[in-house]
Amino acid sequence: MTHPALAHTREVTATDGDLVAAFHAQCSAQNLLRRWGRMHLTPRDLTRLLAQARCWIGLDTDERPLALVCVGPVSRQPGVFDLGLQVADDHRRRGIGTAMARHAARMARTRGAHTLTAFTHASNMPMLRLLGRLGPTRHTHDGPYVEVHVALDAYAPHTREPTRTAPT
């Protein structure tokens, strides 16, 4: 994965509780509540998450965590993987989330997924735009929330970016 702000990305393990906590310290209470429904992720929460999904953390050149992305078959629907994404408040709207989400989409596709889903507040326009950049979407509204389904057909398992067809 390439992004100027990210020196590297690595998979999160159960021993990374302190790193995940350091990342969450860079996120506002509002954004933590929006993403996790609480102010912090406990070690037990992290263990349960990693049992269902693979997670990666994006680090800058000083090894500071900038973003966290998780993808896995949480809903247990065949071929459907769920996406969770959070970017540190001071690094939002710079393309880091898109780079991390594309990485997760590629990984989901290589593991057999044909659809990526995300559940977010209907007013979360940055996330909705990001999901639209990943591929064709279908939205299902549920009160103030929306579940977005992204078709992963454009992500071949061996490609770095979505395959684009030339206009005819």
- Whether 161 has a pLDDT exceeding 80, the answer reads no
Compute how many other C-beta atoms are within 10 angstroms of the C-beta atom of residue 77. Answer: 12
CB atoms within 10 A of CB 19: 18
Examine the pLDDT at 165 and tell me if it is beyond 70.
no
Q: What is the pTM of this model?
A: 0.82
Cβ neighbours of 71 (radius 10 Å): 27
Which residue would you say has higher pLDDT here, 146 or 6?
146
Q: Which of 34-38, 58-62, 65-69, 87-91 has the lowest mean pLDDT?
A: 34-38
User: Please, which pLDDT band fits residue 157 given cuts at 50, 70 and 90?
Assistant: low
Instruction: Provide the mean pLDDT of the chain.
Output: 84
Assess whether pLDDT exceeds 80 at residue 4: no
Spatial neighbors of 129 by CB under 8 A, at least 6 apart, are none
Average pLDDT over residues 40-69: 89
The token duo for 132 is 């639209």
Place of tokens 């889903």: 117
Question: For residues 131 and 148, is the Cβ–Cβ distance under 8 A?
Answer: yes
What is the residue whose two structure tokens read 């992004």? 3
pLDDT level of residue 156 (50, 70, 90 thresholds): low
**In what helix (H) or strand (E) does residue 56 lie, and over which residues does it extend?**
strand 54-59
Dihedral pair phi/psi, residue 151, rounded to 5°: -75, 130
